[in-house]
Structure 1
Amino acid sequence: MSLRRFTAEGGRRVLSAPRALGRTPLDERDVEQGSLLLTLAAEGRAEVRLPVVIARGERVRLDVALPPAGDVPEGFVHVPPGRFLYGMGEEGQLRGMLKAQPLHAAETGAYLIARHEVTFADWMEYLRALPPDERARRTPAAHKDWHVLELAQPAGGAFELLLKPTVEAYRAREGELLRYPGRARRAAQDWRRFPVSAISFDDATAYAAWLDRTGRVPGARLCTEAEWERAARGADDRVFPGGDRLEPDDANHDATYGRDPLGFGPDEVGAHPASASPFGVHDMAGNVFEWTVSADGAREPVLRGGSWYENALTSVSSNREASEPTLRDALVGARICATPRPHSD
């Protein structure tokens, strides 16, 4: 078990060097107030991170069960039960514009969340497992004047992506790189590792149900808003996953490639480690918006996380945009959560 402390430095929340705590119980001599990160590990168990905020003079009891390593699917992290700060502390016009809730303490139970957004490679595996009629219904497609995306499978062979982020269209088949002519970095990428987009809330829900039904990810489902926001910000009041400001290359948003019309477009998942969350989850700022389920009990679709075309403000972790379940947009994708199964031991 180790303990690290978050401190604010230049707009980022920076972790101190880890301090080993061994196996003995913690008391007030071990832990000072502030925003902390506990990392717990044991042989045969999945490593678990637990961000926690401790106020001055507060005593906190933490009971954290480490799941067997085999109970956490590859590419997922286990989030233990715990509390966090939910919403936005800003009052007035900004909070209203982002439709964020007032900042308040909240809790979630245990859940699993994918480190990365669902990719085109993931989605193509899903499509190939579907009957032809459903495959046609679930194939990503979105056509707007300024954003076009279409995934096609000519004659049932290799898939091909058509992407028009702004003024120029790009095509690439499976095995080919997609190239952005307006970029000085990350100009050629494997589009199969782009986050899938132009899928509806209904599509994403069906995909999660397929993961659960086939045993690929038992208990798979879309994340609730509270689960998504806790995974993005940890326990404290940070604005973005990595801190209180978002530099151009911290995530894929409008300023990342200089707002060049030939530079806009998605990046491979995990391409911006500077904005990894305290739980080690990537791309919860920028790249594509992610479908979540509303926190008010109505189970309505809500978009979270910002996109490669929007400004940094839309990537604020508390930003939320209610939507309708049939929307398909080149800026909207998904991330999977799951309900943990009972421990196998």
Structure 2
Amino acid sequence: MIDVTDFLTEAPSAFREKTGEQLREHAAQALTRARRRSTTLTDAVADEDLVRQHSKLMSPLVWDLAHIGSQEELWLVRDVGGREPLRPDIDDLYDAFRHPRADRPSLPLLGPAEARRYVGEVRAKAFEVLERAPLEGSRLTEAAFAFGMITQHEQQHDETMLATHQLRKGEPALHAPAPPGARSGPLPAEVLVPAGSFLMGTSVEPWALDNERPAHEVGVGAFFIDTTPVTNGAYTEFLESGGYDQRRWWSDAGWEYRTAHDIGAPRFWRREADGWWRTRFGVDERVPAEQPVVHVSFHEAEAYAAWAGKRLPTEREWEKAARFDPATGRSRRYPWGDEEPTAEHANLGQAHLSPAAAGAYPAGASALGVHQLIGDVWEWTSSDFHGYPGFVAFPYREYSEVFFGPEYKVLRGGSFGTDAAAVRGTFRNWDYPIRRQIFAGFRCARDASGV
């Protein structure tokens, strides 16, 4: 019998073994991959689509593009590099806290050609800084943290731009191969996660953001968690049973939201004479029963869980199911182990334009046998977004701390639109519980008293 409390540890990071030049190369590759994706998302449509606001929930694509460059200039060129500002006159335009998304189309934004030129100039300066900057001596430069932070920022906006593509009208602009089907045999419906302590969060992952820190021991009671995210097929049973019309499954806030907005199915779904259909990046298709449900709010996920006789997992339950290795008592970097994600582990990076079938990534299962915890769909948890014990805002309060509180729910695991650089076993996302345009799904849990 392993006494986990005797040696609670987390996985060492591969960064610790990299030399300075290897870190520079790693950072350069990550930045380049992010920019390649930004270019794909903005070059896929005409300029008039770039400046149009496709939904008041989202910025025009051209705002996201220039904002990416503005943040890179602020942190890499000016702060780390100590260089003269390129465009101090646009700092205010691209400050996300000054201008709500709905108001951004009315601002004197850079046009598509000027925005592309600007981000190109900033990137050239950033690479000059990367070549010369000491990767030690301060928290901002240690292990190339600032470059990792900007990489993650760009990838997060790339996922936001991908969501904007889902909201735009017209012919499909993006294309990708279909995701894989199920590659594992029949899976159990749920997995038992034993009671006990584990190490949550991280103190050693160099590119981890402030809300992932520090590592801290938490105790979790025994619980069962779904082996895979809830599928469209399972969710359809909730729909067909009248789940959206039965008040008993919904919280007060959920029922108020559902009735006020006349919500009767996941976003982008519609019912036809021959069944349920959806629109996915401009393509109309039958809802695939085997894929995880996506574009559901926290309220919808919570109602489904109640209907199924379960509940949503807490954030600590989700992370224990994802990271805890009962054979060693250690918390892994990823569900499958410590190595970086590959196409065999998870559906990430916009390689496909939808979730993959449940059971499609057996190589990505956790030590406890839970599948698809990384990639496919962000997973709603029941937890509000708060800092961990010992939290310290870094490098600025506006990244995490200003969002702490009961207004936001935590999501975990990343989606098919999340890049590997912007997700790991400790990564935390958050959003309003009403959000449905994001690539969010869920899995259920239930107590296992006496186990």
Aligned position for 1:286 = 375
Pairwise CA distance, 1:104: 2.0
Whose helix proportion is higher, 1 or 2? 2
Gaps of 5+ in 1: 2-7, 12-72, 142-149, 175-190, 213-219, 258-262
Show the counterpart of 1:208: 305
Cα contact 1:254–1:264 (8 A) shared by 2 = no
Post-superposition shift, 1:133?
4.9
Q: Is the 8 A contact 1:197 1:329 kept in 2?
A: no
How far apart in 2 are the matches of 1:237 and 1:79?
14
Structure 2 residue corresponding to 1:171, chosen from 275, 284, 290: 284
**TM-score, with normalisation over the residues of structure 2?**
0.47
Give a deviation string over 1:110-137, Cα, whole Å, max 9, x none.
1110000011001110000116756962
Native 8 Å contact 1:138 1:203 kept in 2: no
Q: What amino acid sits opposite 1:110 in the alignment?
A: A
Among residues 259, 262, 269, which one is paired with 1:151 in the alignment?
Answer: 269
> 2:343 corresponds to which letter in structure 1?
P
Provide the rounded CA distance (Å) in 1 between the counterparts of 2:414 and 2:317: 17
Asked whether the equivalents of residues 87 and 101 of structure 1 are also in contact (C-alpha less than 8 Å), the reply is yes
Whether the 8 Å CA contact 2:361–2:372 is kept in 1: the answer is yes
Give the Cα–Cα distance (whole angstroms) in 1 for the partners of residues 296 and 379 of structure 2: 10
Classify 1:275/1:88 alpha carbon distance in 2 versus 1 (closer, same or farther; 3 Å): same
Q: Which residue of 2 aligns with 1:251?
A: 346
Higher strand share: 1
Residue 270 (structure 1) aligns with: 359
- With over 3 angstroms needed to count, the CA separation of the structure-2 counterparts of 1:74 and 1:269, relative to structure 1, is closer
Identify which of 261, 281, 291 aligns with 1:194: 291
2:244–2:265 contact (8 Å) kept in structure 1: no
Native 8 Å contact 1:115 1:281 kept in 2: yes
Considering only CA atoms, is the larger Rg found in Structure 1 or Structure 2? 2
TM-score for the superposition, normalised by structure 1? 0.61
Tell me the alpha carbon deviations over residues 60-90 of structure 1, each in whole angstroms, 9 at most, x when there is no partner. xxxxxxxxxxxxx950111121121110123
Give the Cα–Cα distance (whole angstroms) in 2 for the partners of residues 265 and 340 of structure 1: 33
- Is the CA contact 2:231–2:291 (under 8 Å) kept in the aligned structure 1? yes
Question: CA separation of 1:196/1:83 partners in 2, compared to 1, >3 Å: closer, same or farther?
Answer: same
2:349–2:416: 8 Å Cα contact kept in structure 1? yes
Q: CA deviation at 1:281?
A: 0.4
* Partner Cα distance (2:431, 2:209) in 1: 18
From 426, 438, 443, the equivalent of 1:318 is: 426
| Corresponding residue number in structure 1 for 2:71 | none
Tell me, yes or no, if structure 1 residue 139 matches structure 2 residue 265. yes
The number of residue pairs the alignment matches comes to 233
8 Å CA contact retained: 1:197, 1:288: yes
Equivalent runs, 1:216-227 vs 2, <5 Å: 220-227=310-317
Over the aligned positions, Cα root-mean-square deviation in angstroms equals 3.0
Distance 1:209 1:131, change over 3 A: closer
Q: CA deviation at 1:339?
A: 1.5
- Percent identity, aligned pairs only, is 34
| 8 Å contact kept, 2:349–2:417 | yes
> Partner of 1:102 in structure 2?
214
Aligned-residue offset at 1:92: 7.1
Alignment of 1:3-152 (within 5 A): 75-90=189-204, 94-96=208-210, 99-130=211-242, 133=245, 137-141=263-267, 150-152=268-270
Read off the aligned partner of 1:117 and give its amino acid letter.
P
Q: Which runs of 4+ in 1 moved over 6 A?
A: none
Contact 2:378 2:439 in 1 (8 A): yes
SS in 1 for 2:307: helix
Structure 1 letter corresponding to 2:323: R
